[in-house]
Chains A and B, each alone.
Chain A
Amino acid sequence: MLDNTALPPRSAKSPTARGPHLGRLTLEVRQHMPIWQHAAILISLIGLGLAISAAILIFAGVEPSELFQEIILDNFLVRENFLAVLRQTAPLLFVGLAAALAFRVRFWNLGIEGQMIWGGIGATAVSVNHIGPESVRLPLMLVSAVIAGMAWASIALILKLRLRISEIISTLLLNYIAGDYMLHLLYGAWLDPVDSFPHSAQFASYERLPDLSWGISTALLLALVVVGITWWLLRVSRVGLYMKFVHANARMAHAVGIPVVGVTIGAVLLSGALAAAGGFVIATGLEGRLTQGFFRGYGFSGILIAFLAQNDPLVVAGVAFLVALLFDTGRSLQVFYQIPFAMVQLIQAVIVTTVAASEFFIRYRVHWVRRSA
């Protein structure tokens, strides 16, 4: 809404008076691109991101020769370390799938951390109040976590569907509210009676996810089953096709009779449920209790995983493993080099940036147009 509808008259300078006249850059929308070229652009920009990350690490004081040792050798050749990476993969898989599902219906679920927190609260509530017999305690905790996560996700969903309130802001604000509520519980009713620290009492052995025979956690198994189900849902089932329509063009999808609202509700609730399951897995599998900062960083990692995997569940599994590798490396750098864990977040942001930039070169061809004198 402008005050004047007409643009002001331009100054009398002729176009030739502007700048030296060698030519100009123009963009051309590519109609077709060979797959190898696509891959080459993507790989070179991921390479650029990794190179920048390596430069930051070296600047922070890591010996270049030890970088390879820390990331590759230590994580793949030492059995405990490799198992630790796999253990870290499970929650990342859940948040990656949660983000992917929501993005499939163009819902910016930036509230993964809030939903994880509610997953943790839901699970811990069952443990603290001793609900149900010991044999079904763990499944009850999962169910409670999932319901709490879905309920929390539904707030932003209702606000968006009913009032058209941007979910970008509302989900982020809800994260802070969930975090403060968890602190209220941890500093109040759920304060650990044993050591009086602000975390919940340790879960009993039957409230923790057991390890399988070779030290692989049940959490990972659960996560892989969910990957399979999500793959089936997105790639095989009718709902997956509907979601494809909604992603491409919601109005068009509505016009051809696809239940857009129903598909959106289903996908977002499922997204909240998966994020909550991620919180459940960390509380019952990794930490063994509800801790203050267990969710930190997972929200962004989920978005990053879904973005890099282009919302494909099988690729999500691969990317989640790589991010788990990064997390684990970050922890050992923290121990051996006193490099803050924030480094992990920084590296993820750098890589998202370069991969996002690669889309420009995939989509357009940059031309230099010479001007004839």
Chain B
Amino acid sequence: MLDFLANWVANSLGMATPYALAALGLIIGERAGVLSLTAEGLMLVGALAATAASLVVGDYPIPALLIAMLCASAVSLLFALLVIVLRVNQVIAGLAIVFFCQGLTDLIGTMANWTNRPVGGLAKLPIWPLSDIPIVGHVFFTQDIVIYLTLPIFVLVQFVLTRSHFGLRLRSVGENPEAVDAAGISVPLYRFIAVVSGSALIGLAGAYLSIGVVRMWVQDMTGGRGWIAIALVIFARWRPWWALGGALLFGGVEALVPRIAATGVRLPQYFMLMTPYVATLGVMIWVALDKRTGSDEPGALGLPHVREERR
């Protein structure tokens, strides 16, 4: 039983990491007022880029992760151009980018023959001597680099968002772009920075999925995790720590299913595959029924800023 629990928690961390990083990336963009539905597509870009880097250059995980982040940011520039400069409806632009990325990654993956080819991926890095602690060492200190880095990334983003001038301005851009503009701060610039840096994290999430969890590229391998991350942001009410908690919850659910199946309990397979989506819907219903106030939802989320159009 203890073994079962230890294995489950250890695997939950790995499953939770893509959700956590993608949700955090989305929060950065959305706190600046850009409603980004792009996560599903950008995760695919990150996943393919990391696998491609590993296959072409060799198994150097850190460069592969950085390349994935760069590629996702590069694609998000297109999204930023559409919604920040050209003021395209953010839902339409987000969907178009997702489908663009799905088509592009499928096409490149097939034509370059990168599909279904195993890569070495991220290695487990035991932190000695902590890794020698019974159970705890195995669960928390025998993981890979991305899992170790997730917590510092959250601390850093939370600090920048809430404790720095830059973060204050970024959040102000999301709350009331007119006031920020009047104060002489460039709304487009802050939104650009928020979208592109957030997208790097989303790309990292996708990369982790391909070279950290599955260890190969399969077309459409994100399987809706990007949409779940968007739901997580709503659940977290745009607060990073809540998003981390939600991600752990979802990671736990996802890691539990194969664990139970491994113990020999017969479960209808395809109903088990539904659990993340059903759980997400359940969480959204719970959030909607929860009457407590106090959300950090940005006031200008999804609204384009046009200085010349006075409201």
Residues of chain A whose beta carbon lies under 8 Å from any beta carbon of chain B: 1-4, 7-8, 10, 15, 26-29, 60, 108, 110, 159, 163-166, 168-170, 172-174, 176-177, 180-181, 183-184, 187, 300, 303, 307, 339-340, 342-350, 352-353, 356-357, 359-360, 363-364
Contact = CB atoms under 8 A, between A and B. Distances in A.
A348 B288 CA distance: 35
A363 B86 CA distance: 10
A75 B96 CA distance: 27
Contact of B231 (A29, A169, A177): A169
A56 to B, nearest CB: 8
Contact of A176 (B86, B269, B274): B274
Given A29-B309, A357-B82, A360-B86, 15 more contacts: A8-B169, A10-B183, A159-B284, A163-B289, A166-B234, A169-B231, A184-B270, A184-B271, A340-B111, A346-B104, A346-B107, A352-B99, A356-B86, A356-B89, A356-B96
B100 interface: yes
B270 A181 contact: yes
Contacts of A183: 270, 273
Do most interface residues of chain A lie in helix, strand or loop, or is the interface mixed? helix
B5 interface: no
What is the interface of chain B mostly: helix, strand, loop, or mixed?
Answer: helix
B116 interface: no
A180 B103 contact: no
A169 B97 CA distance: 16
A180 B270 contact: yes
A49 to B, nearest CB: 11
A177 B183 CA distance: 48
B278 A352 contact: no
5 contacts: A27-B308, A173-B277, A177-B277, A307-B92, A352-B96
Contacts of A360: 86-88
Interface in B150-182: 162, 165, 168-169, 171-172, 175, 179-180
Given A2-B175, A7-B183, A8-B165, A172 B104 contact: no
A342 B107 contact: yes
Contacts of B277: 173-174, 176-177, 180
Contacts of B93: 353, 356
A101 B219 CA distance: 32
B268 interface: yes
